[in-house]
Amino acid sequence: MTSQLFQQLISLPRKSLALLAAYELSGSLLILAIAKDFAGLLNHFCQQDYSHIAETAPVLLALFLMLCLRAWLSYQQQLNLKKLSALLREKYRLLIHQQLPNQPASVRDYSLLAVETVDALDNLVTKFFPILLALCLRIPLLLTAILLIDPITAALFALTLPIAPFLLYLIGQATKKASEREWHHLEALTSGFHELLRGMAMLKLFGQENRQRERLAALSHAFATASLAVLQLAFVSSFALELITTLSIAIIAVSTGLRLLADSLAFSTAFFLLLLAPKFYDPLRQGGLAFHTIMDAHTAWQKLQDFLGDAGQDSPTGHNQQLQIPPAINLDTLSYSYPGTSTPVIEQLTLTIPADKITLLTGSSGSGKTTLLKLLAGLCQPDSGTITLNNQPLATMAESSRQKLIAYVPQDPYLFSASLRNNIALFQPVPDERIAQALRLASLETWYFSLPHGLDTHLGAGGLPLSEGQRKRLGLARALLQNRPITLLDEPTAGMDETLEANVLRAITAFSRHRTIILVSHRPAVKAIADTIVELAPGGEPA
């Protein structure tokens, strides 16, 4: 486990951590008290001293109460661990959420990370943490008590103790790779299943669904094989740990037995030591049992660290007070490649987009127009070069300032499973008249009037389906309502007939007054409204 992971665990709320440590310490003291009480009781019976049997009643009662208290402490500890686990997972989900616009990962990658990977962290808190506490608190406490009672047995405990962690370390080296392989196959399986679901209608149409089924079966088999390899290692690790701890307990038992026979150890002391032995090795045994789940959780944690990268760093907090509105946009030797690819989509692009004008980005398919819009919207970060609004670098601008400045409408605007009102206003409280006006400007008025539930009409999953052109105009209505000084529109009129396109372009032209508008399109009608035309060549350079 890396020191970073320990730091993460220690950074959990101090009060809960202190409570957990207190539960563990009290539990360990109770183990000592119960063992002492029980050894004394048995000593009493073994010496066949039945004359004062009534005297044992309070001892039995104390034993019963201590057992109850230990059960309660253990319950409280579990409860606290569950709360801490929920907190840690919530924190990671929040970090993933914050990273959403900055990482060009697919929805599928995000869902796997946000669900399975984050949930795997549960084992770090609920399984690894109590073992860690027991190793740090219980074992030293029991060892000190044993040392005070019988130094020879304490030496035996101390000598046998390092064997198990060393063994775990060796097994851990093998388990780490197997666990990583398992995660890799799980990712491939999730991705294959996602693809199958998305393309099922198309595959059925061409009668190819069986081929995909075979592919999925192969992925599933690979995942099962990888899981089996992890389970085999898990079996080996728990078997090895059981063996080591059982042998260690046997050594302690034989040693105390022999010394008991030689009369060099009192019966009650020997019995007390024997009662403590399984409790002493218990954290190691638990470590062996939970080893593969902990390694699995560790791999998940590393995956999250890789994904989040420097998400923990402070985000830019600059502001745009001196910014002239609407600003001109300057791109200086801008380069960008998608992660995992070597060819830059945008390479050394230097360009000025004038303020208060409509600029059209055009160029062959794949020349990087959409990518450039995403860079301007701050959805991707350039590999090198700068984007400045007047003279203020976009990269140093606080996210809230950037949000107030820029609106972006992608080629296929996303529909939320929500009312038409919330889909346009993006869940902000906006008067219905303004929403209706945005719908009118985006040429959706006739459609909107035909809806029996008006702005309350449910859209998105399970709601009213929209055509591609309607979705585009809905995206435009959103941008008109958001009313930002810089508005980026990707193919706003694709697939529309001439009349509809003319209406939409009229609305965009009216909206462009005192705004910097950047459009991506191949359509001649869009070219006609543009003040500046920039043609991108493959590699993102102006042609």
Ligand X SMILES: Nc1ncnc2c1ncn2[C@@H]1O[C@H](COP(=O)(O)OP(=O)(O)OP(=O)(O)O)[C@@H](O)[C@H]1O
Which residues make up the interface to ligand X (CB under 6 A)? 104, 338, 341, 345, 365-371
199-235 b/e (C-beta count within 10 Å ≥ 16 → b): eeeebeeeeebeebeeeeeebeebbeebbebbeebbe
Residue 442: DSSP 8-state:
T
C-alpha span between 103 and 415 (Å, rounded):
21
Pairing verdict, β 486-490 and 516-520: parallel
Least Å from the CB of residue 543 to ligand X: 12
User: Which amino acid is it at 233?
Assistant: L
Q: Which residue number, 145 or 380, has a Cβ lying nearer to ligand X? A: 380
Least Å from the CB of residue 494 to ligand X: 9
Q: Which residue number, 100 or 243, has a Cβ lying nearer to ligand X? A: 100
Least Å from the CB of residue 12 to ligand X: 35
Least Å from the CB of residue 528 to ligand X: 19
Q: By C-alpha distance, which of 303, 384, 322 is closest to 105? A: 303
Q: Which residue number, 76 or 370, has a Cβ lying nearer to ligand X? A: 370
Residue 310: DSSP 8-state:
T
Q: Which residue number, 341 or 499, has a Cβ lying nearer to ligand X? A: 341
User: Which amino acid is it at 89?
Assistant: R
| Phi, psi at 407, each rounded to 5° | -115, 140
Q: Which residue number, 43 or 102, has a Cβ lying nearer to ligand X? A: 102
Question: Could you count the other beta carbons within 10 Å of the beta carbon of residue 97?
Answer: 11
CB 43 within 8 A of CB 271: yes
Q: What is the 3-state secondary structure (H, E, C) of 188-255?
A: HHHHHHHHHHHHHHHHHHCCCHHHHHHHHHHHHHHHHHHHHHHHHHHHHHHHHHHHHHHHHHHHHHHH
Q: Which residue number, 370 or 457, has a Cβ lying nearer to ligand X? A: 370
Least Å from the CB of residue 533 to ligand X: 15
Least Å from the CB of residue 302 to ligand X: 23
Q: Which residue number, 318 or 410, has a Cβ lying nearer to ligand X? A: 410
Q: Which residue number, 109 or 116, has a Cβ lying nearer to ligand X? A: 109
Q: Which residue number, 130 or 368, has a Cβ lying nearer to ligand X? A: 368
Pairing verdict, β 346-353 and 541-542: unpaired
Q: Which residue number, 104 or 385, has a Cβ lying nearer to ligand X? A: 104
How many CA atoms lie less than 13 Å away from 520 in the CB half-sphere?
23
CB 9 within 8 A of CB 124: yes
Q: Which residue number, 367 or 419, has a Cβ lying nearer to ligand X? A: 367
Q: Which residue number, 10 or 107, has a Cβ lying nearer to ligand X? A: 107
C-alpha span between 243 and 241 (Å, rounded):
5
Least Å from the CB of residue 538 to ligand X: 8
Residue 382: DSSP 8-state:
-
Least Å from the CB of residue 378 to ligand X: 16
Q: Which residue number, 373 or 394, has a Cβ lying nearer to ligand X? A: 373
Least Å from the CB of residue 338 to ligand X: 3
CB 356 within 8 A of CB 516: yes
Residue 51: DSSP 8-state:
G
| Phi, psi at 133, each rounded to 5° | -65, -45
Least Å from the CB of residue 326 to ligand X: 24
Least Å from the CB of residue 347 to ligand X: 12
Least Å from the CB of residue 369 to ligand X: 4
Least Å from the CB of residue 380 to ligand X: 9
Q: Which residue number, 131 or 488, has a Cβ lying nearer to ligand X? A: 488
Long-range Cβ contact pairs of 81-85 (< 8 A, separation 24 or more): 81/20, 81/125, 81/126, 81/129, 81/130, 82/126, 83/16, 84/12, 84/13, 84/16, 84/17, 84/20, 84/125, 84/129, 85/121, 85/122, 85/124, 85/125, 85/126
How many CA atoms lie less than 13 Å away from 490 in the CB half-sphere?
19
462-492 b/e (C-beta count within 10 Å ≥ 16 → b): ebeebeebbbbbbbbbbbbbbebbbbbbbbb
How many CA atoms lie less than 13 Å away from 203 in the CB half-sphere?
12
Phi-psi domain of 443 (left: phi exceeds 0; alpha: psi -120 through 50; beta: other):
left
Least Å from the CB of residue 367 to ligand X: 4
C-alpha span between 109 and 209 (Å, rounded):
24
Phi-psi domain of 363 (left: phi exceeds 0; alpha: psi -120 through 50; beta: other):
left
